Structure 1
């Protein structure tokens, strides 16, 4: 098994070298998605809707599901927001994440959202809420169960996922019942980062009159949906204390919160581990799926 994994990574490196200028000018997540497809990540997963428009700001989203799924199915739904420090990233760059969870039986929605400097907080969260409204109204057409919806995301996307789940004002503003979310998986997300010290957080958040509104940890509540908060020991972009502090706060309030701190992974490697080329780096996919399956059991 180890040998086949090493061969796969070697093939990925060789392919990277052969791509030349394309690799140098393509976003790393999009390049990873291409490598993931070449190395078998696309087998068993299908992109069933691409660039679907939603919301008042004319944003777009993609929908992934298993190739064997049917429109009449009622599969659990995962809304996944990509990262990028609130300034970059696009839904199509994270096809590897959509495929990974689709192959595990989820209907996966990956929405875009507006970025800094064109907008600042709370635009990304408002766009996220409107994506959830679209999911509620439309996901059954793609074989998803609107009664079994979970949120996830990486980095800035995890901030959106967790804040939407903790602070009901944003979903209510989009005419969505905050109880719609049944579980949350936050990957390497910033949840406790005030005062703002990085350029990206300053640019995205510092203008807002009440900084506490930007901080998921300040919205922690006893009746929060179950959360899996993932961090890693070598994350120097979003420090592990973000997940650790939020996990402790939720538990102190009596909410259900689990923490995983992967040894040896950095910020990017946590989400990269969802892909076929780097899945051997960590059990992020398996741990996330196990958590989601526990909390998205079929309604009886």
Structure 2
């Protein structure tokens, strides 16, 4: 009996420890689970880089083991309410996407008081520009870059892709943009996180992706869980409607029973094998980044 009780106590303590670890840094725990249950999947960290002097302005570049010719580039920006997060905890994104034939870049950006609007967008745009500059060294095709992000990171990449001024200086034209559980229509600011990151510096309607929908926007894939109470799925519905009305290409996927983090969790092992989020993301990224072969004129 003592052995049984001891075993149950150990399991209980392990469960409590796991819950505390997830609460303190969920992505890091998710990353560890992915590595333990799925392995490296032949994905290699090929470079650590900085695009600015701040420690958060960093890039982590991954490539599949076998790089045959220039590969499309998949840049991912993490979430965290614009106040926390670290690309080094999101290696599972690289292990999910790189084996499908992509160079994957995980980008960080300044957070909290240092990262208030529009700094997070300045950093995201700078990260995109530096990724385009560096990617050829590691087998990437800078002309075929797809931007993706979760939550606050989804806001960052979508706003940068839609509001033309952010990428104008670098001339980068993303082939597509993917948003997971993203906030795209949240003005006026009514949550502590948005008031801190946007309201505290007087941002207005210009800060909202929904107000920058345009016909020539990059194709978009927007994914949301129907049970997301942190960033309600109406954000994705509103942006998709605005893009459709503008004549832009947009695809949506809504998942019943998914909360805010479920789309992100679905990209990690062992959940990756049980859900189709990774398939949707990879399929979209492949389609929009396909090489266009010019039609040659017939020889007279």
> CA-to-partner distance for each residue in 1:44-94, whole Å, 9 max, x for gaps?
2111113x1113646111011111226xx3101011000001000000111
Match of 1:200 among 180, 193, 200: 193
The question of whether the paired residues in 2 share the 8 Å contact of 1:273 and 1:284 is answered with yes
What is the alpha-carbon distance in structure 1 between the residues aligned to residue 127 and residue 39 of structure 2? 25
Aligned partner of 1:76 in structure 2 is 72
Aligned partner of 1:294 in structure 2 is 287
**Aligned-partner SS, 1:194:** coil
Deviating more after overlay: 209-218 vs 120-129: 209-218
**Aligned-partner SS, 2:115:** coil
The question of whether the paired residues in 1 share the 8 Å contact of 2:225 and 2:263 is answered with yes
Count of residues in Structure 1 that have an aligned counterpart in Structure 2: 282
The aligned runs of 1:208-287 (5 Å cut-off) are 208-280=201-273, 282-287=275-280
CA RMSD of aligned residues (A): 2.2
Aligned partner of 1:176 in structure 2 is 170
**Aligned-partner SS, 1:151:** strand
What is the alpha-carbon distance in structure 2 between the residues aligned to residue 55 and residue 126 of structure 1? 11
Per the TM alignment, residue 176 of structure 1 is displaced from its structure 2 partner at its CA by: 1.1
What is the alpha-carbon distance in structure 2 between the residues aligned to residue 275 and residue 78 of structure 1? 16
Per the TM alignment, residue 23 of structure 1 is displaced from its structure 2 partner at its CA by: 3.3
Per the TM alignment, residue 277 of structure 1 is displaced from its structure 2 partner at its CA by: 2.0
Per the TM alignment, residue 120 of structure 1 is displaced from its structure 2 partner at its CA by: 0.7
- Say yes or no: does 1:124 pair with 2:117: no
> CA-to-partner distance for each residue in 1:262-287, whole Å, 9 max, x for gaps?
11111111100000122255311100
Q: Normalising by the residue count of structure 2, what TM-score does the alignment of the two structures yield?
A: 0.88
> CA-to-partner distance for each residue in 1:238-280, whole Å, 9 max, x for gaps?
1000000100110011100111101111111110000012225
What is the alpha-carbon distance in structure 2 between the residues aligned to residue 93 and residue 265 of structure 1? 22
Q: Normalising by the residue count of structure 1, what TM-score does the alignment of the two structures yield?
A: 0.88
**Pair member with larger Rg:** 2
Per the TM alignment, residue 291 of structure 1 is displaced from its structure 2 partner at its CA by: 1.0
> CA-to-partner distance for each residue in 1:22-42, whole Å, 9 max, x for gaps?
936851101110110011241
**Aligned-partner SS, 2:200:** coil
Deviating more after overlay: 57-66 vs 194-203: 57-66
The question of whether the paired residues in 2 share the 8 Å contact of 1:153 and 1:185 is answered with yes
Deviating more after overlay: 112-121 vs 194-203: 112-121
The question of whether the paired residues in 1 share the 8 Å contact of 2:72 and 2:145 is answered with yes
Gaps of 5+ in 2: 1-10, 294-300
Q: Cα–Cα, structure 1 residues 205 and 24, in superposed 2: closer, same or farther, change >3 Å?
A: closer
**Aligned-partner SS, 1:267:** coil
